[in-house]
Structures are given as structure tokens and as C-alpha cells.
């Protein structure tokens, strides 16, 4: 262990200070005086110098893998690199308080109204609420709107909602939380919703259908017009999960496909770094017919306008691209994804052979190296080995349609050279697996930690330093 691998507590020296404040300064800020609110023993904070602190945090940041340090092909998360300017703009609004006088927040209001107009233009919806703070939160809000719509018409029999088996787990979960019973729609062999499989499920008890388009396999639901007509004919509504809106921005609008309600994951499509739990924003949009139902629900899922800073980022991003460039996002993301897919399909199992949108899914290795007494390398092993070569792993074991899902999404921001490097490494790993799967099973070999027990790490994380007795 080197000196710099020590925890900051282990560097602590009694009485060492990073800054000094004249005696008495600060005491006065505690309103009720020393002796009442003052603690009796000082907290057990590390006592270190300023460079110790700087090195501590810088070192921690380098232990992690981020999009600022390398390629990050995580599928289903879409936008990973966010222009830095989009992070600067919200600082302009940092002094705002939600309870400020109305006439002092005209700029913020205008920004919300203009972002709503942009989102309407991109999605084909007519009205938005910015309250929801994530995609899943938007799903719940959208489904509350959907329920209200049916109830306002006195139609209380619609208690079931259709969800394809390729859907993100949040779709059936949001439905259940909203008091709707999710009904699974099986995908056809082409990975798409088959209208013929849908037909027998429709009836007077169906409140609607939740669809992601392109779906989680990165495939465009090409029967969408027919599906929309069928669901509407039975009295149901169409909910669009906007997590995969990227390849369609500026090209095709969910509203024109027949959707009635949708959410947009601003943190996936419009320039907010995500991961690590937020903040996010999942504005919900509806058609004109659903405006009263939206009004009934608006303001009930979060305070004020949700995560306003995330909306500011989306606004800045859309302004930056403008109408003329916004449609290039999807085209380049789609090209990058198909390029990787076609360059690797002789090494990895491609379960559905079709042109994809911004992402695609392999089902593990074509030759996993399994032999008598030697187990084959799995998708987890490939993902771990990638870390040795300096790449973040793709999304693994999602979607659940295949046993060895490896979901790759490069996005539009990566250069051809980066994509080629990734392809070369993925091919090398496939060859390693075929020759010696145990090399992959022991990976990663070069990261600060290897393979933690994921269950144990999630259920019983050790987040607190306990000093040696």
C-alpha cells in the first residue's frame, strides 16, 4: 500500500489544520450562544492540511470510471457526454427561490414556457408538466393522468394495462403503483410487438398500452400505426416511454405515431449527466384531449416545477443545437450503433438480425471457450474484462428477453477512432474467451477492486470508517 492509498483518517495528525480562523470568528453565528448548542467533544474529523484534502478527493475521483475519462457504451442510458456549457447555464438561476414574488421570476417562467414549446415541437404533444423528477416518476404521473381520463368519462372498468415483455421494469412497476394491473404482451421472433398477439388481449378492461419506441432492443416498432388504431378502437390510450427518444428527435414525433401521453427523460436525451441517482427530470406531455386530466394531476407529484436546473440544461442544449442540428443526433447515434454491431457480429451472438436505432443487444459470445471441465465465458466476464482495457462495460443482462444480454449504446459523440478501438478490444476479448475463458473469469486484473460480492455490497455496504481500537 502506498502512502497515497491511505484513508484520509489514517493521514490525520492531531492539531493539523488546513485553514486557520481567528479566535471568536464563527462562534457568533450560533444564535443561542456557546454552552447550549455547542457539542461537548469535538467531532472525530480527520485533521489534515489543504493538499492532503485536495489529493484525497482527486484520488477518489480517479478510482471511478466516468465519461470524462473514457468511452462509456452503457445501453439504455443514452446521453452520456453532456456539453459542459449546459452545466454552466443553471448557475445563472442559482439565486432563485420557489417562493419568490411572481414578478421577480418572469425569466424562469419564460424559460419553462419556451422549453414546453420545444418539447411539444419535438414530441407532437400539446401540454407538459415539469413536476416529475425522473422517467419512472413521469410514468407514474402519466398513468395517473390516464386513469383520470377514464374516470372523468365515468369509465371505471379499465383496470388493466398492456406492457410488452421487452419493456423496462419500471413500466409494470409504475402501473402497479398506480393501481393498474400490468398485462404482458409477448414479443414476436423479430423482437417487435406483433399486432396479432395484441388483438386477443384488447377489451373493455384495457386502460391502455405502454410502449418504448424504439424498444429496449433498439428496434423500431414498425407496426405502431396499426397498434395505435387497435388500442384506440378498444377505448384505450397509448403511453410512450420516452427513454429511447434520442434517435427520433427532429425526425419523427410520438404524437404522430398515435401516442396520447408520454414522458421525456431530460437526463437521457437533453444534457443532464446521470447515474449515481440524479437529479433527473421526466416531464410529461399530453394531447389536447387530455389537458383536463393533466390539470387534475399537475402539482401532485413534486413541489413546484420539479428539478428546474435539469430543465435549464435541456433548454440550453436545445438552443445550442437549434432546429437544424437537432436531427443529426439520432442519425449519428444510429450510424455508430450499427457500425459496432456489424463489426462484431462474427464474434458475438446477434439474436435479432435487423437494422437498429441508437443501441442494440448481443446475446453473449459466439464461442465462449467452454470445454470439458471448463465453463464458458459469460456476458459478465466480457464486461469485467473490458475494464482491464479501459472501457466502461455495456449494460448487461438487460433486456430480460435473452440470457446473456449485452446492450451497447455508443451515442453520437464518439469519434470513429474511439469506436474502432472499442471494436478491436471487443474482438480481442472474444478471442481470449475462445482460447482461455478462465482469463476472463478472473477479470478484471488491473482495477482498484476486482469482483465485489454485488449482493453483499448492495445490502451491507461499509460506508463508515471505524478507527482501530
Ligand X SMILES: *Cc1c(COP(=O)(O)O)cnc(C)c1O
Residues found near ligand X in the complex (CB under 6 A): 76, 134-136, 168, 170, 212, 216, 241, 243-244, 265, 280, 282
- Cβ-based burial of 335 (10 A; exposed 0-12, middle 13-18, buried ≥19): middle
Cβ-closest position to ligand X: 135
Nearer to ligand X, 347 or 358 (CB): 358
**Dihedral pair phi/psi, residue 158, rounded to 5°:** -90, 90
Nearer to ligand X, 158 or 267 (CB): 267
Query: Is the link from the previous residue into 359 a cis peptide, with omega within 30 of 0?
Result: no
Q: How many helices (H) and strands (E) does the chain have?
A: 16, 10
Nearer to ligand X, 76 or 115 (CB): 76
Nearer to ligand X, 245 or 426 (CB): 245
**Dihedral pair phi/psi, residue 125, rounded to 5°:** -85, 175
Nearer to ligand X, 341 or 358 (CB): 358
What is the smallest separation between the CB atom of 407 and ligand X, expressed in angstroms? 10
List the beta strands (DSSP E) in 100-241. Answer: 127-129, 160-164, 181-185, 206-212, 237-241
Nearer to ligand X, 134 or 227 (CB): 134
What is the smallest separation between the CB atom of 135 and ligand X, expressed in angstroms? 2
What is the smallest separation between the CB atom of 303 and ligand X, expressed in angstroms? 18
Nearer to ligand X, 248 or 429 (CB): 248
Nearer to ligand X, 140 or 365 (CB): 140
DSSP 35-72: TTSS-SS--------HHHHHHHHHHHHHHS--TTTS--
- Cβ-based burial of 425 (10 A; exposed 0-12, middle 13-18, buried ≥19): middle
What is the smallest separation between the CB atom of 86 and ligand X, expressed in angstroms? 17
Q: Cell for 220?
A: 423500431
Nearer to ligand X, 82 or 265 (CB): 265
Q: Are 326 and 368 in contact (CB under 8 A)?
A: no
* Nearest CA-CA partner of 245 in 413, 78, 72, 75: 78
**Dihedral pair phi/psi, residue 276, rounded to 5°:** 70, 10
**3-class DSSP assignment, residue 203:** coil
* Nearest CA-CA partner of 305 in 65, 183, 128, 49: 128
How far is the first Cα of the chain from the last one, in angstroms, to the nearest whole number? 21
Nearer to ligand X, 253 or 268 (CB): 268
Distance CA 67, CA 176 (A): 35
Nearer to ligand X, 37 or 458 (CB): 458
Distance CA 441, CA 382 (A): 8
Taking the CA atoms of 399, 224, 266 and 162 in sequence, report the sign of the dihedral they define. negative
What is the smallest separation between the CB atom of 167 and ligand X, expressed in angstroms? 7
Which residues lie closer than 8 Å to 4 by C-beta, 6 or more apart? 55, 59
Using only C-alpha atoms, what is the Rg of the chain?
Answer: 26
What is the smallest separation between the CB atom of 240 and ligand X, expressed in angstroms? 10
Strand partners, 240: 211, 262
* Nearest CA-CA partner of 130 in 117, 148, 121: 117
Nearer to ligand X, 164 or 235 (CB): 164
Element (H, E) at 195: helix 195-198
What is the smallest separation between the CB atom of 136 and ligand X, expressed in angstroms? 3
Q: Tell me, what DSSP letter sits at residue 395?
A: E
**3-class DSSP assignment, residue 191:** coil
Strand partners, 286: 127, 261
Amino acid at each position: 500500500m502506498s502512502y497515497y492509498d491511505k484513508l484520509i483518517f489514517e493521514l490525520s495528525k492531531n492539531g493539523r489544520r488546513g485553514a486557520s480562523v481567528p479566535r471568536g470568528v464563527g462562534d457568533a453565528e450560533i444564535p443561542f450562544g456557546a454552552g447550549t448548542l455547542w457539542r461537548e467533544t469535538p467531532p472525530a474529523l480527520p485533521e489534515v492540511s489543504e493538499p492532503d484534502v485536495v489529493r484525497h478527493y482527486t484520488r477518489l475521483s480517479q478510482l471511478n470510471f466516468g465519461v470524462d475519462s473514457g468511452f462509456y457504451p452503457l445501453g439504455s442510458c443514452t446521453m452520456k457526454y453532456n456539453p459542459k456549457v449546459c452545466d454552466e447555464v443553471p448557475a445563472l438561476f442559482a439565486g432563485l427561490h420557489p417562493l419568490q414574488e411572481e414578478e421577480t421570476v418572469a425569466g424562469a417562467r419564460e424559460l419553462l414556457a419556451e422549453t414546453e414549446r420545444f418539447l411539444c415541437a419535438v414530441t407532437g404533444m400539446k401540454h407538459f408538466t415539469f413536476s416529475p423528477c425522473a422517467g419512472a416518476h413521469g410514468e407514474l404521473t402519466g398513468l395517473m393522468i390516464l386513469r383520470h381520463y377514464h374516470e372523468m368519462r365515468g369509465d371505471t372498468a379499465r383496470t388493466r394495462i398492456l406492457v410488452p415483455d421487452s419493456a423496462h421494469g419500471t413500466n409494470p412497476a409504475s402501473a402497479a403503483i398506480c393501481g393498474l394491473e400490468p398485462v404482458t404482451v409477448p414479443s414476436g421472433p423479430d423482437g417487435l410487438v406483433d399486432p396479432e398477439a395484441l388483438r386477443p388481449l384488447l377489451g373493455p378492461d384495457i386502460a391502455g398500452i405502454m410502449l418504448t419506441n424504439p424498444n429496449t432492443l433498439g428496434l423500431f416498432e414498425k407496426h405502431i400505426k396499426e397498434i395505435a388504431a387497435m388500442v384506440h378502437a378498444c377505448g384505450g390510450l397509448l403511453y410512450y416511454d420516452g427513454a429511447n427518444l434520442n434517435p427520433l428527435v427532429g425526425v419523427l414525433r410520438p404524437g404522430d405515431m398515435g401516442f396520447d401521453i408520454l414522458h421525456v427523460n431530460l437526463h437521457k436525451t437533453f444534457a443532464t449527466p446521470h447515474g449515481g441517482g440524479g437529479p433527473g427530470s421526466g416531464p410529461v406531455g399530453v394531447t389536447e384531449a387530455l389537458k383536463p386530466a393533466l390539470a387534475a394531476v399537475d402539482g401532485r407529484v413534486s413541489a413546484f416545477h420539479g428539478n428546474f436546473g435539469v430543465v435549464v440544461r435541456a433548454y440550453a442544449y436545445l438552443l445550442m443545437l437549434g432546429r437544424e442540428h437537432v436531427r443529426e443526433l439520432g442519425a449519428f447515434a444510429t450510424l455508430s450503433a450499427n457500425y459496432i454491431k456489424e463489426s462484431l457480429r462474427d464474434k458475438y451472438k446477434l439474436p435479432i438480425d435487423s437494422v437498429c436505432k441508437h443501441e442494440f443487444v448481443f446475446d453473449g459470445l459466439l464461442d465462449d471457450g467452454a470445454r470439458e471441465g471448463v465453463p464458458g465465458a459469460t456476458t459478465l466476464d466480457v464486461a469485467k474484462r473490458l475494464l482491464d482495457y479501459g472501457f466502461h462495460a455495456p449494460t448487461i443482462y438487460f433486456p430480460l428477453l435473452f440470457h446473456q444480454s449485452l446492450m451497447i449504446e455508443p451515442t453520437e459523440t464518439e469519434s470513429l477512432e474511439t469506436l474502432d478501438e472499442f471494436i478491436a478490444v471487443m474482438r480481442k476479448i472474444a478471442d481470449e474467451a475462445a482460447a482461455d475463458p478462465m482469463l476472463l473469469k478472473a477479470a478484471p486484473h488491473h482495477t482498484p477492486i476486482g469482483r465485489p460480492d454485488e449482493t453483499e455490497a448492495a445490502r451491507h455496504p461499509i460506508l463508515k470508517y471505524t478507527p482501530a481500537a
